[in-house]
């Protein structure tokens, strides 16, 4: 949020208090001062600091958004069309383009033009883990954390392309300190500390149904991260974009912390994006079936974006194309390529307007007295995929779900750490087929207990090559099979 400075600021404590009381009062938010007399100096300073960062004009708009039960009905139904997919099943022509794009992507990677960016500022509330989600262990046999698995993929990419990977890690003020500490305690997972650039997204106040700010404590507003769309403004305000330019990075490979299958150094994707002269591109997976409740990428009145499941009429959900596949099948997996110049243009002058999304929630906040009570209200977020609308051209690459997507979202069941571990083992087990190696006795879920370190192999072809080169796996005490970085073992 931008700070709304007084035109003749009185920077004494009393002056700042006065200014903030006046601003809060004018915006109908004076209740946030209700415990003021009980606060010590540090508490008052903390609350003042948070209030100084509040953009009341924005807050007013968000409050109005919240009070609308439904968005205002539009005059006409939007026309929805599927995106032009670069498909997984390729004919000869598409294969030839894929070869050229892969070569171009490899040039970008070899030349150090690709910077890797992870968004890890979310609260992970569904997982219910007490700490940054990236610190959660998901390696089926190694117990490696999400951060470490991603880091090892980047290290593998660095080895392949002969340069040191540069990683931009977005946190939020709520998890920035523990995230940095975790990286430090783990030696930045083998990455050069100077090549890990932490930056933080903004937070903004949660509101009750009347549009009033909530308090998390007597001296603290109830703040929530502003959504992964906040990453774009944060790239600019943190100096990350300048850092990229200094290093000769022209392309950002964007992925989420919760998907250890993400393949950030995918030469095909990056090459397709650059060949198309695109500002922002996306990877998608085919929806499992018409009823899978995921957003799909598509054109909304001719503008690229993400179509919510609920916005797709049943007959469109079921519609198929000439190949018999679902017409609207482009399930969004939140993997993007973004040109540095595109993000720079979007954020120039500090104004990037992405639409706000309302996440209605019941939150535990302070009631009129200091008791914690459940209060119905909302948090507000912007989404990175809404920036697709601002990109003149965009590539949508279809990839295999089995190979590239299994996120850790929930505590158990679908999209949980358990389902993710099973999916990893299923993929690794598929690499063993025809390799002459017997599947181990141990099981993870219903699959053989196998883990392949990204530094051993990133895909089946590389895995087979490693075996041909004489590298082997180790049987673990629990009957699993681990294939580790050969350079670390030798
Ligand atoms: P999700 O939408 O799954 O949210 O984020 P979450 O916060 O991780 O989990 P829940 O919804 O509270 O259970 C998808 C990705 O976007 C990042 C997350 O860290 C995750 O990588 N994200 C989300 C941010 O970086 N900032 C945000 O404000 C929201």
Please check whether residue 5 lies inside any domain of the structure: no
Contact of 142 with 482, CB cutoff 8 Å: yes
Cα-to-centroid distance, 225 and ligand 1 (Å) = 9
Same domain, 339 and 393: yes
DSSP 77: P
Same domain, 215 and 177: yes
Same domain, 437 and 461: yes
* pLDDT at 349 (0 to 100): 79
User: Which CATH number covers residue 311?
Assistant: 3.90.550.10
Same domain, 166 and 258: yes
Please check whether residue 74 lies inside any domain of the structure: no
Same domain, 441 and 399: no
Contact of 280 with 388, CB cutoff 8 Å: yes
Same domain, 447 and 316: no
* pLDDT at 482 (0 to 100): 97
Cα-to-centroid distance, 124 and ligand 1 (Å) = 6
* pLDDT at 434 (0 to 100): 84
Establish whether residue 132 lines the binding site of ligand 1, counting it when its CB lies within 6 angstroms of any ligand atom: no
Domain endpoint, select from 370, 404, 438 = 404
Please check whether residue 68 lies inside any domain of the structure: no
Establish whether residue 152 lines the binding site of ligand 1, counting it when its CB lies within 6 angstroms of any ligand atom: no
Cα–Cα distances (Å) from 52 to 4, 47, 232, 388, in that order, read 7, 9, 23, 32
Please check whether residue 410 lies inside any domain of the structure: no
Establish whether residue 229 lines the binding site of ligand 1, counting it when its CB lies within 6 angstroms of any ligand atom: no
pTM of the model: 0.95
Residues 6 or more apart whose CB falls under 8 angstroms from that of 342 comprise 279, 280, 390, 391
Give me Rg for the CA atoms of the chain: 24
Cα gap 198→471, rounded to integer Å:
36
Domain that holds residue 32: 13-54
Domain endpoint, select from 404, 427, 458 = 404
Please check whether residue 241 lies inside any domain of the structure: yes
Helices (H), 7-40: 13-26
Cα-to-centroid distance, 136 and ligand 1 (Å) = 14
Same domain, 397 and 429: no
Establish whether residue 121 lines the binding site of ligand 1, counting it when its CB lies within 6 angstroms of any ligand atom: yes
Cα-to-centroid distance, 222 and ligand 1 (Å) = 17
* Edge-to-edge strand list for the sheet holding 207-208: 207-208, 372-381, 357-366
Please check whether residue 97 lies inside any domain of the structure: yes
Establish whether residue 440 lines the binding site of ligand 1, counting it when its CB lies within 6 angstroms of any ligand atom: no
Same domain, 190 and 324: yes
Cα–Cα distances (Å) from 413 to 127, 163, 257, 383, 409, in that order, read 11, 39, 19, 25, 10
What total of structural domains would you count in the chain?
3
Same domain, 430 and 360: no
DSSP 310: G
Please check whether residue 45 lies inside any domain of the structure: yes
Please check whether residue 8 lies inside any domain of the structure: no
Nearest CA to ligand 1 atom 1: 122
Residue 39, SS3 per DSSP: coil
Establish whether residue 123 lines the binding site of ligand 1, counting it when its CB lies within 6 angstroms of any ligand atom: yes
Same domain, 343 and 396: yes
Q: Which helix (H) or strand (E) holds 185?
A: helix 176-185
Establish whether residue 126 lines the binding site of ligand 1, counting it when its CB lies within 6 angstroms of any ligand atom: yes
**pLDDT tens for the chain, residues 1 to 490:** 444 444 677 889 999 999 999 999 999 999 999 999 999 999 999 999 999 999 999 999 999 999 886 655 566 788 999 999 999 999 999 999 999 999 999 999 999 999 999 999 999 999 999 999 999 999 999 999 999 999 999 999 999 999 999 999 999 999 999 999 999 999 999 999 999 999 999 999 999 999 999 999 999 999 999 999 999 999 999 999 999 999 999 999 999 999 999 999 999 999 999 999 999 999 999 999 999 999 999 999 999 999 989 889 999 999 999 989 999 999 999 999 999 999 999 999 777 889 999 999 999 999 998 899 999 999 999 999 999 999 999 999 999 999 999 999 999 999 999 999 999 999 999 999 988 899 999 999 999 999 999 999 999 999 999 999 999 999 999 999 999 999 886 5
Domain endpoint, select from 362, 379, 404 = 404
Same domain, 357 and 324: yes
CA 146, 419, 89 angle in degrees (round to 5)? 90
Establish whether residue 260 lines the binding site of ligand 1, counting it when its CB lies within 6 angstroms of any ligand atom: no
Cα–Cα distances (Å) from 51 to 30, 40, 85, in that order, read 11, 17, 46
Establish whether residue 482 lines the binding site of ligand 1, counting it when its CB lies within 6 angstroms of any ligand atom: no
Same domain, 400 and 440: no
């Amino acid at each position: 949020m931008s700070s709304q400075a007084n035109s003749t600021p009185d920077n004494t404590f009393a002056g700042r208090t006065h200014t903030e009381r006046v601003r809060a009062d004018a915006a109908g938010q004076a209740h946030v001062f209700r415990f003021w007399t009980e606060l010590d100096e540090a508490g008052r300073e903390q609350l003042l600091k948070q209030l100084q960062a509040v953009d009341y004009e924005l807050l007013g708009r968000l409050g109005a958004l919240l009070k609308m039960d439904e968005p205002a009905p539009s005059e006409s139904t939007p026309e929805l069309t599927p995106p032009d997919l670069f498909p997984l099943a390729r004919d000869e022509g598409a294969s030839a383009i894929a070869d050229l794009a892969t070569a171009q992507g490899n040039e970008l990677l070899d030349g150090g033009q690709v910077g890797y960016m992870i968004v890890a500022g979310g609260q992970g509330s569904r997982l219910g883990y007490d700490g940054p989600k990236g610190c959660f262990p998901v390696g089926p046999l190694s117990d490696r954390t999400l951060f470490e698995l991603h880091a090892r993929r980047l290290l593998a990419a660095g080895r392949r392309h002969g340069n040191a990977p540069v990683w931009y890690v977005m946190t939020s003020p709520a998890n920035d300190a523990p995230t940095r500490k975790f990286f430090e305690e783990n030696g930045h997972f083998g990455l050069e500390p100077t090549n890990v650039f932490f930056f933080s997204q903004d937070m903004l106040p949660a509101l009750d149904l009347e549009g009033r700010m909530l308090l998390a404590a007597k001296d603290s507003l109830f703040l929530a991260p502003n959504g992964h769309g906040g990453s774009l403004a944060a790239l600019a305000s943190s100096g990350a974009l300048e850092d990229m330019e200094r290093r000769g990075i022209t392309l950002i490979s964007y992925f989420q912390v919760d998907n250890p299958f993400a393949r950030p150094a995918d030469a095909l994707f990056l090459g397709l994006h650059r060949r198309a002269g695109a500002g922002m591109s996306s990877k998608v997976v085919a929806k499992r079936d018409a009823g899978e409740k995921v957003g799909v990428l598509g054109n909304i009145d001719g503008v690229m974006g993400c179509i919510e499941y609920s916005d797709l009429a049943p007959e469109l959900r079921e519609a198929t194309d000439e190949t018999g596949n679902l017409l609207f099948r482009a399930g969004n997996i939140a993997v993007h390529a973004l040109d540095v110049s595109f993000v720079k243009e979007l954020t120039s002058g500090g104004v990037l307007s992405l639409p706000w999304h309302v996440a209605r929630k019941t939150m535990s906040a302070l009631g009129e007295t200091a008791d914690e009570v459940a209060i119905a209200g909302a948090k507000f977020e912007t989404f990175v995929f809404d920036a697709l609308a601002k990109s003149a051209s965009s590539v949508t690459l279809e990839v295999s779900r089995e190979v590239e997507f299994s996120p850790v979202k929930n505590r158990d069941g679908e999209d949980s750490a358990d389902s993710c571990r099973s999916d990893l083992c299923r993929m690794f087990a598929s690499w063993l087929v025809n390799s002459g190696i017997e599947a181990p006795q141990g099981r993870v879920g219903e699959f053989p207990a196998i883990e392949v370190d990204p530094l051993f192999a990133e895909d089946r072809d590389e895995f087979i090559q490693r075996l041909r080169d004489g590298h082997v796996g180790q049987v673990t005490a629990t009957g699993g099979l681990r294939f580790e970085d050969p350079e670390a073992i030798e």
